[in-house]
Amino acid sequence: DTGVSQDPRHKITKRGQNVTFRCDPISEHNRLYWYRQTLGQGPEFLTYFQNEAQLEKSRLLSDRFSAERPKGSFSTLEIQHTEQGDSAMYLCASSLRQDGYTFGSGTRLTVV
Amino acid sequence: AQKITQTQPGMFVQEKEAVTLDCTYDTSDQSYGLFWYKQPSSGEMIFLIYQGSYDEQNATEGRYSLNFQKARKSANLVISASQLGDSAMYFCAMREGSGTGFQKLVFGTGTRLLVSP
């Protein structure tokens, strides 16, 4: 499979629980992005990695959110103490250049 | 200020007809890129077409073409010969800046296209 993989596809969690999502980018892509998409909206940027370095973080990424890309390959996005407002689709994308984004299928999070 | 505006929440088209999805953008940069993505109900964002701000020709990719009017700051997507499988959400997005520094994509709110038989 040469696409961007995200796991899990769906996650239902109780408010207050921690969740972690995984993204496996296209293997030769050194840039990795996380976006969040709420109902009826377009995706909004959360954070960006170039190789293992997290170079940009949006103000949307509160202290409860943390993202890592330890070896410059896969990435994880963790949300601690989830709130109902965290319910959204979390999309991962990767690229080799600025104009070559490839998105994954996303992880749909529902906080109940 | 809204960077990307998609004024059509929903559009209907009959199979085999052409349809235009509107997108206007706002930027003060000279160098930027415009993208269109398709998002079916499965959730994946599928890249359709890209137009750079310095490209003189309108971009085309198969049945997709981008009507780029720089002075009007519009980048409308034209889908020719619509197919039932074209039913999906369509997002216009802009990347500002150039070079090796980071530039995020900013998306519009999308247009839902429904193709009827």
| Model pLDDT, residue B63 | 97
Note whether A102 contacts B42, CB cutoff 8 Å: no
Note whether A99 contacts B95, CB cutoff 8 Å: yes
| Model pLDDT, residue B42 | 87
Summarize pLDDT for B41-56 with one digit per residue, the tens.
988 899 999 999 999 8
| Element at B34 (helix H, strand E) | strand B32-39
| Model pLDDT, residue A76 | 98
What is the full per-residue pLDDT of chain B (117 aa) written as tens digits? 569 999 999 999 999 999 999 999 999 888 899 999 999 998 889 999 999 999 989 999 999 999 999 999 999 999 999 999 999 999 999 997 655 667 789 999 999 999 999
Which residue spans within chain A are E strands per DSSP? 5-7, 10-13, 19-24, 31-37, 44-50, 53-57, 65-68, 75-79, 88-95, 102-103, 107-111
As a whole-number percent, the residues of chain B with pLDDT over 90 amount to 80
For B:13-52, CB contacts with A below 8 A are 33, 35, 37, 42-47, 50, 52
Summarize pLDDT for B15-33 with one digit per residue, the tens.
999 999 999 999 988 889 9
| Model pLDDT, residue A1 | 52
